[in-house]
C-alpha cells in the first residue's frame, strides 16, 4: 500500500504542477496577444506624414520645385502648412519677393533641399541664381504708408 500511496501523491503533485504551468501559459498568451493588438492599433508615422501633407496648400500661378538653399527661417514647424519667404542670392539680389517654403527634403552640409513654391514670373530667375547660392529669409509684407499733408487749402494773410 505504501507504493500505491506514493504514486498517488506523485500524481497529485504532477497534476498541480501541470495546472500551474497551464495557468502561466494562459496568462502569457493573453498578455502577448494584447500587446500585439496594442502595437498594431498604434498610429504609425506614415499616417502623420500623410496628414501633414494634406494640410499643404498650393497657390494659383505658383510652381512647386525642389531647390537647394540656405534657410534663415526660424519657424519651420510641422504645424504650419507653409512658410512665406523671400529668396535672395548671396549678392543680396532679390530672386522672388514671395515664395512658400513647404518642407525639408534632405540636408547635405550647408545647403539643404526644400520643397518650395515659386511664382511663375520668378521661375526664370531661379536657374542662374542656384549657381550663386540661394538664401531664404522671412517674408515681410510691405505696407505703404499714406503721406498726410499738413496745412490748409486756404492762405490767411493778416
Non-local CB neighbours of 38 within 8 Å, separated by 6+ positions:
none
pLDDT tens digits for range 102-158: 878 877 766 788 888 999 888 888 888 888 888 888 888 877 666 666 666 666 676
Task: Indicate whether this model's pTM tops 0.85.
Answer: no
* Dist. CA 38–CA 91, nearest whole Å: 55
Non-local CB neighbours of 91 within 8 Å, separated by 6+ positions:
132
Cα–Cα distances (Å) from 11 to 16, 35, 46, 132, in that order, read 9, 36, 56, 88
Place of cell 520645385: 65
Q: How far is CA 30 from the centre of its chain?
A: 37
* Dist. CA 100–CA 119, nearest whole Å: 9
pLDDT tens digits for range 37-64: 998 888 766 655 555 554 556 778 888 8
Helix (H, G, I), strand (E, B) or coil at 2: helix
* Dist. CA 130–CA 118, nearest whole Å: 14
Cα–Cα distances (Å) from 42 to 15, 29, 38, 53, 68, in that order, read 41, 20, 6, 20, 35
End-to-end CA distance of the chain: 146
Amino acid at each position: 500500500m505504501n507504493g500505491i500511496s506514493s504514486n498517488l501523491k506523485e500524481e497529485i503533485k504532477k497534476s498541480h504542477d501541470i495546472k500551474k504551468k497551464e495557468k502561466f501559459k494562459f496568462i502569457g498568451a493573453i498578455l502577448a496577444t494584447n500587446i500585439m493588438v496594442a502595437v498594431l492599433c498604434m498610429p504609425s508615422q506614415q499616417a502623420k506624414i500623410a496628414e501633414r501633407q494634406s494640410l499643404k496648400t498650393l497657390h494659383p500661378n505658383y510652381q512647386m520645385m525642389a531647390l537647394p538653399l540656405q534657410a534663415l527661417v526660424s519657424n519651420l514647424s510641422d504645424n504650419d502648412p507653409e512658410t512665406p519667404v523671400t529668396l535672395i542670392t548671396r549678392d543680396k539680389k532679390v530672386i522672388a519677393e514671395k515664395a512658400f517654403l513647404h518642407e525639408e527634403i534632405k540636408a547635405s552640409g550647408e545647403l539643404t533641399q526644400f520643397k518650395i513654391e515659386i511664382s511663375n514670373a520668378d521661375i526664370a530667375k531661379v536657374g542662374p541664381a542656384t549657381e550663386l547660392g540661394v538664401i531664404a529669409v522671412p517674408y515681410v509684407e510691405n505696407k505703404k504708408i499714406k503721406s498726410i499733408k499738413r496745412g490748409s487749402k486756404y492762405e490767411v494773410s493778416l
